[in-house]
Structure 1
Amino acid sequence: MAKSVGHDYNEEFDYLSLKTNHPLSEALDTHGDGESLAKVGSAPARELIGAALNKRVQGVDPHDCEAGAEDAFFVADLGEVYRQHVRWTKHLKRVTPHFAVKCNPDPMVIRLLAALGTGFDCASKAEIEQVLSLGVHPSRIIYAQPCKTTSYLRYTAKQNVTQMTFDNSDELYKIKQIFPHAELYLRIFTDDSASMCRLSQKFGARMENTKQLLTLAKTLGLNVAGVAFHVGSGASDPEAFLRAVRDARAVFDQAAELGFNLHTLDVGGGFCSETFEDMAAVLGRALDDYFPPHIRIIAEPGRYYTSSAFTIACNVIARRTVEDPEAGSKSYMLYLNDGVYGNFSSIMFDHQHPVPQVLSTKRKPDGYKYCTDLAIEYSIWGPTCDGIDCIAPKWTSAETLDIGDWLYFEDMGAYTKCSATRFNGFTDQHDTIYVSSEPGTMEVVGM
């Protein structure tokens, strides 16, 4: 259990500090120091995932099974989530991550991260409710939604979830009326032009308006406790963090002139596994240059934790042969039982390009990781009647795939099942098989 809130602010958030001797870290770190653990080879993890994938599909005969038995399913490696956490603590020691629940509200992921001492970034009543239901203390949640639903705000007040963001005057009047004792973080505009998903076109107070908003908050008697920013989901420019930290420092100074005592900086999300070290290096230096050690720093990583931890397997439900007599060529259209209206929504909403790989075929049932020279051309489609439901317009493989065969896609843990729909009556509920390539994590989540 999280320790109770005390009167001293530093004590209140002490349990969230990322200490290298975290008791759970000691229990799970069977490889010695955090650095060596983070470098555990990917081969054993992939073999573990592959075994789980194959065990499931070998038990399904799509030609003689109950309706839905061959539905798409996930395999989630909780060990990968843990390794990402170790990696974070090594490179961003000052920054306490608050996992962005919207990215992947998987209950086992949330349980694990809660046990590791992270906080949580929630944007709705349902997300807050889910996190609280798992025993997380309200002080570990930030309601990181600058424009909140009125009834949701009343709910957060009842649950004593005090930390929240704002970026406009109308929101301040709303908060004054419903939750005047909230702890407010002014979210500022940032340059997110180098991100996959831009957010500043919707949220963030411009620098020319920040002093006016702080003055209004002071007049209303509200508690502004910090500054927040977000450089965009899937950011690629480390300098965006530097510029945002500089702007946040200026707002801290404005607040001090008005009598506020700001104590928290929320550096938002935008972290990707592929560029994490580069981003962390720039952000870490900027924080040390502009913010003294007593300022609490938090962040809102999402995809960083979960993207590479989830793999999905899909069944080929139909095949269409496309022949070109003039060219003397033949290709195939493969139709899977999942698509862009389902777990491949990341193609539409998150600019992702999932890569198909052969899991098994009738000719090679143990095809996981199978690789030869590429030969046969395919296009891959989802199951709905919409023409935009295309997973891959062009893909080549040495395998001749047919109805009943299986494909798998790695890196499917971010903005996938969280935005799946039931369009055309297809299910948005897909099984997740949990494995762990790190000892101890399954016990932590109660499995």
Structure 2
Amino acid sequence: MSALQCDVSLVLQKLIEEQLIGPDSAPTIGERNHDAPQLMAINYDLDAIDEAFHKLESSFPSYFQHRFAVKSCPLSFFLKKALHFGLGLECASLTEVQHALHLGCPGENIVFDSPCKTVYDIRFALQHDVLINADNFVELERISQAIMEMELIPEVTPLWAGGGSKGLPRIGLRINTLVGAGSVAMLSVSTTTSKFGIPLTAENRLKIISSFVKFPWLSALHAHVGSQGCDLSLLTQGAKTLVTLANEIDAAVQSNQVQVLNIGGGLSVNYANETVRPTYVDYASALRLKVPELFTGHRVVMTEFGRSLVAKTAWFCSVAEYVKNARSDLPTAIIHAGSDLFVRPCYRPDLFHHEIEVYSKEGKSTTTDRDMKIQNISGPLCFGGDVLARKRNMPTMNQGDYVVIRDVGSNTMSLFSRHCSRLAPIIYGYRKEKRSDEVAGSTKYQIKLLKERETPEQVYNFWT
């Protein structure tokens, strides 16, 4: 599930040798030919991606259904991969819903969770059989009105009655379980001040139950505690709260109306090294211990993993175009991406960290053959905060070296900024050609183009 350091060096060397990256590159794959050299790239380990999906599938029972969080990595190749492995897609905007449909994802395998759905958004989702999680009571009334106007319910029947009837509305309620914040407040959404969901106060608990009594097509509950920085105890506490509420609703309506429990995603990622922790097995075990009701098969359980599936499967590399003040106490390397691609690490380095490695112009690790030195790494953008690494102890960098940033598979391209009109980088994928008993350094790799580098014309069109 993690791109290994030994693979990074060998893949980088192959990219350089085949002139797919570097000052002398004029890469051509298929009919592609760009005059400007490729000086940076994002590189996905396709074997690690496959392993991540297999790990997810094998860690949970078959009645757990997984919906990949599109916002974490909207790249079409990855979404297609998720669909290939049987996942659905969780969407945070109408455009994400339309992207999912465009890629062939059936509407019934799409979850729509935006906190800002318009009437148009709601009607579109209903027309395409998308499961909508209403974010608040006003939205729920909008959904009810749309259902009546669109005459979607000839008979008042719960969504999953008789195993589910295609064409009936698929509606849930998003609940703020109020279990508190994790270590990263801005990524925690189960607090009293959160903009997401219906806070589970005593007053709202009664209104939620009344809503299920009023609308027999309501059949799902959704809760997402947060993402990076939320530990397993917080995630399981949120799931436990959701189960308790579902049982109260079913008791009130005297039927098994709550058929789907969506416990969200939020599994944190270890950015400190290659180790994957916590794992999906760790999370499943914690859920079994703390929320055994999820494992009876009585209800469908949905997840919305994003970052944990894809973050550690990719790395970024860039030529160090300059090393300024090289002989001073604090040299600064200038590379070809900064806060345009790494928004969070640049603006909040105290919260968002990536390991950074230095490779020679031939693509070889410099860890053992260069002196260590305190240095900065900055991006190309025109403001002083465009800094990726501040006073970090690294092998001494030279102009023309390659800077590698690890664990960039999620929340990197999806956060890309247009500031200074820089071009979004080319994206490659790679696989090992041989998989057994290789002598170190002899492994062969196959490089695949996943996404073209952005063109100046595409940037012009954005601003037009």
After TM superposition, the score normalised by the length of structure 2 is 0.76
Alpha-carbon distance between aligned partners in 2 of 1:80 and 1:134, rounded to the nearest angstrom: 22
Matched residue of 1:314: which SS? strand
CA-CA distance at 1:222 after TM superposition = 5.6
Matched, 1:398 2:395: yes
Task: Provide the residue aligned with 1:206 in structure 2.
Answer: 199
Task: Provide the residue aligned with 2:292 in structure 1.
Answer: 288
Q: Which amino acid aligns with 2:262?
A: D
Higher RCO (C-alpha 8 Å, min separation 6): 1
Matched, 1:253 2:247: yes
User: CA offsets per residue over residues 24-60 of structure 1, 9 Å max, x none?
Assistant: xxxxxxxxxxxxxx7x994674466434543466753
Task: Provide the residue aligned with 1:60 in structure 2.
Answer: 22
Matched residue of 2:325: which SS? strand
CA-CA distance at 1:117 after TM superposition = 0.5
Task: Provide the residue aligned with 1:314 in structure 2.
Answer: 318
| Equivalence map 1:210-359=2 (5 Å) | 210-216=205-211, 218-219=213-214, 221=215, 223-259=217-253, 261-272=257-268, 273-276=276-279, 277-289=281-293, 292-321=296-325, 330-348=329-347, 351-359=351-359
CA-CA distance at 1:210 after TM superposition = 2.8
5+ residue gaps, structure 1, are 1-37, 324-328
Task: Provide the residue aligned with 1:79 in structure 2.
Answer: 47
| Equivalence map 1:164-175=2 (5 Å) | 164-175=132-143
Task: Compare 86-95 and 346-355 and name the one that shifted more.
Answer: 346-355
After TM superposition, the score normalised by the length of structure 1 is 0.79
Going from structure 1 to structure 2, the CA distance change for 1:294 and 1:369 (only over 3 Å counts) comes to farther
CA-CA distance at 1:415 after TM superposition = 0.5
Alpha-carbon distance between aligned partners in 2 of 1:182 and 1:380, rounded to the nearest angstrom: 51
Alpha-carbon distance between aligned partners in 2 of 1:417 and 1:360, rounded to the nearest angstrom: 25
CA-CA distance at 1:343 after TM superposition = 4.0
Going from structure 1 to structure 2, the CA distance change for 1:275 and 1:117 (only over 3 Å counts) comes to same
Task: Find 2:431's aligned residue among 429, 436, 439.
Answer: 436
User: CA offsets per residue over residues 397-446 of structure 1, 9 Å max, x none?
Assistant: 333411x332111100110011111101212x221111134999x9xx99
Task: Compare 346-355 and 301-310 and name the one that shifted more.
Answer: 346-355
Going from structure 1 to structure 2, the CA distance change for 1:59 and 1:380 (only over 3 Å counts) comes to closer
Q: Which amino acid aligns with 1:398?
A: P
CA-CA distance at 1:302 after TM superposition = 0.3
Task: Compare 207-216 and 77-86 and name the one that shifted more.
Answer: 207-216
Matched, 1:415 2:411: yes
Task: Find 1:108's aligned residue among 77, 81, 102.
Answer: 77
Going from structure 1 to structure 2, the CA distance change for 1:44 and 1:316 (only over 3 Å counts) comes to closer
Task: Judge conservation of contact 2:26–2:37 (CA < 8 Å) in 1.
Answer: no
Q: Which amino acid aligns with 1:81?
A: I
5+ residue gaps, structure 2, are 28-33, 149-167, 269-275, 436-445, 452-464
| Equivalence map 1:101-140=2 (5 Å) | 101-140=70-109
Task: Compare 295-304 and 60-69 and name the one that shifted more.
Answer: 60-69
Task: Provide the residue aligned with 1:380 in structure 2.
Answer: 377
Alpha-carbon distance between aligned partners in 1 of 2:432 and 2:224, rounded to the nearest angstrom: 32
Alpha-carbon distance between aligned partners in 1 of 2:338 and 2:221, rounded to the nearest angstrom: 39
Task: Provide the residue aligned with 2:56 in structure 1.
Answer: 88
Task: Judge conservation of contact 1:172–1:217 (CA < 8 Å) in 2.
Answer: no
Task: Judge conservation of contact 2:288–2:294 (CA < 8 Å) in 1.
Answer: no
CA-CA distance at 1:253 after TM superposition = 2.2
CA-CA distance at 1:231 after TM superposition = 2.0
Task: Judge conservation of contact 2:367–2:395 (CA < 8 Å) in 1.
Answer: no
- What count of residue pairs does the alignment treat as equivalent? 394
Task: Provide the residue aligned with 1:3 in structure 2.
Answer: none
Task: Find 1:143's aligned residue among 109, 112, 128.
Answer: 112
Going from structure 1 to structure 2, the CA distance change for 1:341 and 1:58 (only over 3 Å counts) comes to closer
Matched residue of 2:321: which SS? strand
Task: Provide the residue aligned with 1:99 in structure 2.
Answer: 68
Matched, 1:187 2:174: yes
Alpha-carbon distance between aligned partners in 2 of 1:412 and 1:401, rounded to the nearest angstrom: 24
Going from structure 1 to structure 2, the CA distance change for 1:251 and 1:420 (only over 3 Å counts) comes to same
Q: Which amino acid aligns with 1:241?
A: L
Going from structure 1 to structure 2, the CA distance change for 1:346 and 1:330 (only over 3 Å counts) comes to closer
Alpha-carbon distance between aligned partners in 1 of 2:3 and 2:128, rounded to the nearest angstrom: 43
CA-CA distance at 1:189 after TM superposition = 1.7
Task: Judge conservation of contact 2:13–2:364 (CA < 8 Å) in 1.
Answer: no
